[in-house]
Amino acid sequence: MIPTLAGRLQTRIFLLATVGVVLTALVVPVLPGTTGSPARTYATAYLILLAVAVLGLGWELVYHLLMQFRWDKDWPTIFGLLTIVPEGLLVWVLLDLGMIPGVPGPVAFSTFAVMFGFVWIGQWLFVNGPIRVFFVQWRLRGGRVV
């Protein structure tokens, strides 16, 4: 990817609102370690997704800063995959501390890990190709959707 800052932020929100929402809907019924009603699990899952989006805007600023040290001002494919580690850890710690607003109760690590990993990888795959099928100009505009 060769994102601009605006492109990063737009792509992040766009992906979570589309691919993220759909993949979450698909994965929730098969998540391990869940307790309580499906409605409750859905609510929790989407709150986590929202948290990833909000925190993600902050992460994008950090990534954008780091990218400035690269001569090509690019963001290699593998970075998009590996950043799952810091981002996942942060969300998990906040979740564990009960600091994600609205989440009704404790969430098992297995539940979180499967959901987060599934959505992350799905988005990463989507952004590394299929997105361009719909938005030809996406890659030519630094990842801006609009």
Partner 1 sequence: MLHEAGIPVHDVPFVSVGGGLGSFIMTDVLRICGVPTSSIKVLSNSDTPWQTWEYLTRASQLPPGERIRSDAGARPDNIWGFPSYAVHEAWQDRSPKLLWQVLVEPILTDFFSPRAATVFATVKREADRISYWDMLAKGQVRMVRRRAGGGYFTLLTPPAGTAPTKRVAIRSQYVHLAVGYPGLKFLEDLQRFRETYDDYHRVVNAYEPHEHVYESLKKRPGTVVVRGAGIVASRVLQRLMDDRERYGLHTQIVHMFRTFVTGPHGSGPWMRRPGGDGWAYQAFTFPKSAFGGQLKAQFRRLEGEKRAALAKAVGGTTTPKLRRWQEQMRQGRQGNWYHPIQAVVDKVEPAPDGRLVSHTSSNDGGYGRYVSDFIIDCTGLEADMPEHRVLADLLEHGGARRNGAGRLAVGENFEVTGTASGGGALYASGAAVAGNHFPAVDSFLGMQTAALDIAADLARRGFCADLGPARSFGQWLKWVTGRPV
Contact residues for partner 1, defined by CB under 8 A: 1-4, 7, 67-69, 71-74, 76-78, 81, 129-130, 132-137, 139-143
Handedness of CA 89, 94, 98, 101 (dihedral sign): negative
End-to-end CA distance of the chain, in Å?
17
CB of 92 to partner 1, least distance (A): 25
CB of 135 to partner 1, least distance (A): 6
CB of 25 to partner 1, least distance (A): 21
Nearer to partner 1, 105 or 129 (CB): 129
Q: Quickly list H helices, the chain.
A: 5-15, 21-27, 38-67, 77-82, 84-96, 109-127, 130-134
Nearer to partner 1, 112 or 138 (CB): 138
Residues comprising the chain, all counted: 146
CB of 87 to partner 1, least distance (A): 19
